[in-house]
Amino acid sequence: MARVLKASEESIREGAEIIRRGGLVAFPTETVYGLGADSLNPEAVVKIFEAKNRPYFDPLIVHIAEMEDAFKLCLRVDARAKALMERFWPGPLTLVLPKRDVVPDLVTAGLETVAIRMPAHPVALSLIRESGRPISAPSANLFGHLSPTEAKHVERQLGDRVDLIIDGGRCPIGVESTIVDLSEDEPILLRPGGLPLEDIERIIGKVKVVTSMDRPRSPGQLKHHYSPRTPLRIIREEVFKVPEGVRAGLLSFKGSPARGGFAVVEVLSPSGDLREAACNLFPSLHKLDSLGLDVIYAEPVPEEGLGRAIMDRLRKAEGLT
């Protein structure tokens, strides 16, 4: 089994040493746990793909701890990118920018662009600083499965495939970073996430939202991503009844009293706070998924603020979009 150590100066130092030697370290960020390797070492980066069973056409995010590293890795950091970095880094925002040659093709899946972000988690930042390397890290789950927001989720999915898991408790935001492509004139939202689109548009103006009908520019947009093993259906009916003989769980937004017949109910936010709901989304799904239910029904949430990221993950878990 993997070694799991509580976050501390010592465990971070050990994690940094493993990164420098080309190993894999799972670590907490403010969004989800990442599965990290030295971005500049292709042999280390390969291990990420192997551990996750991730297809090589799916590029990785590069995590940095200092603003100046963005300039070392990206060919052009234009005024829009600078404005967003200054306002929202460290934080749950990933920018896609033209890359420099130092970034290995394996990291970007051969693309001319690189996805880059500065996480707002003290453990992640210390690990990057201490290792002295940019760290490539996808979410620390098997490809296509639920993202991990606690160390035990990582342990369950990736167990002995990582050299060290640093346990920093629960991730405070709980959904992945928002990804904006700034490599061309028109900014494009590739993935709704922990930073609301509204906040981004306040700084750089209109951002184009690509729907699943468009070409998947970001493989995170593939359907059947973020999937529990239990089938998941979004409730679209006004009045809903669990079919006879079906053992169903409910992922409820505020805990509507009107819905009966469920074996178990997980409430995302009793007060209807979308931030709280996003934070509880993956933990609740992990829990429901572990109960051997026939089906999980999910109530839709309003598509504003973090609600956009929640609905994106639910639709992908449903796999119908």
Task: Give contact residues for Mg ion (rule: CB under 5 A).
Answer: 139
Alpha-helical (H) ranges within 31-184 are 42-52, 67-73, 79-88, 105-108, 122-131, 151-158
Minimum distance, C-beta of residue 239 to ligand TXA, in the bound complex (Å)? 36
Place of tokens 């200054």: 86
Residue closer to ligand TXA by CB (options 60, 232) is 60
177 is a site residue for ligand TXA (CB under 6 A): yes
From Mg ion, ligand TXA, none, interface partner of 219 (C-beta below 5 to 8 A by class): ligand TXA
Residues 6+ apart with CB under 8 A from 83: 203, 204
Q: How far apart are CA 220 and CA 217, in angstroms?
A: 9
Site string for ligand TXA, 147-166 (x = CB under 6 A): --------------------
- Cβ 50 to ligand TXA shortest distance, Å: 14
Joined together, the tokens standing for residue 149 give: 């927001």
Q: Which residue in the set 7, 61, 232, 310 belongs to the binding site for ligand TXA (CB under 6 A)?
A: 61
> What are the residues whose beta carbons fall under 8 Å from the beta carbon of 119, sequence distance 6 or more?
29, 30, 31, 34, 63, 90, 91, 92, 125
CB of 181 to ligand TXA, least distance (A): 6
Q: Report, in Å, the least distance between residue 211 CB and ligand TXA.
A: 16
Instruction: Name, in order, each residue with C-beta under 8 angstroms of 320's C-beta and a sequence gap of 6 or more.
Output: 223
For the bound state, the minimum distance from the C-beta of residue 265 to ligand TXA, rounded and expressed in Å, comes to 28
Mask of contacts with ligand TXA, 110-139, x by CB under 6 A? Answer: -x-xxx---x-----------------xxx
Based on CB atoms, which residue is closest to ligand TXA, 217 or 259? 217
Nearest alpha-carbon partner for 159 in 171, 168, 151: 151
Q: Where are the beta strands (DSSP E) in 159-203?
A: 164-167, 178-181, 188-191
Q: What angle do CA 251, 33, 74 make, to 5 degrees?
A: 120
Binding site for ligand TXA (CB under 6 A): 29, 31-32, 34, 58-61, 94, 96, 108, 111, 113-115, 119, 137-139, 176-177, 179, 190, 217-220
